[in-house]
Chain A
Amino acid sequence: DTAVSQTPKYLVTQMGNDKSIKCEQNLGHDTMYWYKQDSKKFLKIMFSYNNKELIINETVPNRFSPKSPDKAHLNLHINSLELGDSAVYFCASSQAETGADTQYFGPGTRLTVL
């Protein structure tokens, strides 16, 4: 039974399009995250939600908008896609929003913008 799942696994699209990536966790965690891993393999946090409230919002273009309909889901919508948005996007979750807490990652969504 998958703990953190993401859809789709691969996303290929044209510049200028709008796309969404969905994430669901069945661990009963309160906190969820979106990370971006670029071609150099750096994993960088983008957003974090705790119980549907935004608690971390890094310096990310406002074309990226996270949405959390409930604490088990955190979706990422990207408007006007650009070439530089090509990367692997990982969703993660943890029990708490603070403290030394393990993060559980999803399998990733590889986004390719042509």
Chain B
Amino acid sequence: SQKIEQNSEALNIQEGKTATLTCNYTNYSPAYLQWYRQDPGRGPVFLLLIRENEKEKRKERLKVTFDTTLKQSLFHITASQPADSATYLCALPLGGYNKLIFGAGTRLAVHP
């Protein structure tokens, strides 16, 4: 069955550094992949979508890569700030009806 794995439960980095989060998947060939941010006590918020024919997507300080051979997406936050501290979820579509399967998320803590 399809599996989505996100790296480690928590990632601690220093302010100003680049945070890199990983999303691996198996038994699956998704047409696209999405990244969401979730703050404590709130619902997920969409950040970026990358399609299978796109190698890289950028939005301000965010960058996502999608390697369909490695079955992996990397999510980068450059010049990280304490306000970037949150849980980041990757999500892949399964089936035809916009049904998203979410990873467990990686909690990012950016320290001043």
Which residue of A has the minimal Cβ distance to B31?
Answer: A100
Contact of A100 among B43, B44, B51, B101 (CB under 8 A): B51
Please tell me if the beta carbons of A48 and B46 are within 8 angstroms of each other in the complex: no
Find residues 80-112 in chain B having any chain A CB closer than 8 Å to their own CB: 87, 89, 93, 95-102, 104-105
Q: Report the minimum CB–CB distance from A25 to chain B (whole Å).
A: 12
The CA-CA distance from A96 to B93 in the complex, in Å, is 13
Which residue of B has the minimal Cβ distance to A48?
Answer: B97
Q: How many residues of A sit at the interface, in one of the four size bands?
A: 20 to 34
Please tell me if the beta carbons of B98 and A48 are within 8 angstroms of each other in the complex: yes
Q: Report the minimum CB–CB distance from A49 to chain B (whole Å).
A: 10
The CA-CA distance from A101 to B43 in the complex, in Å, is 17
- A105 interfacial by beta-carbon distance below 8 Å: yes
Find residues 4-51 in chain A having any chain B CB closer than 8 Å to their own CB: 4, 31, 40-45, 48, 50
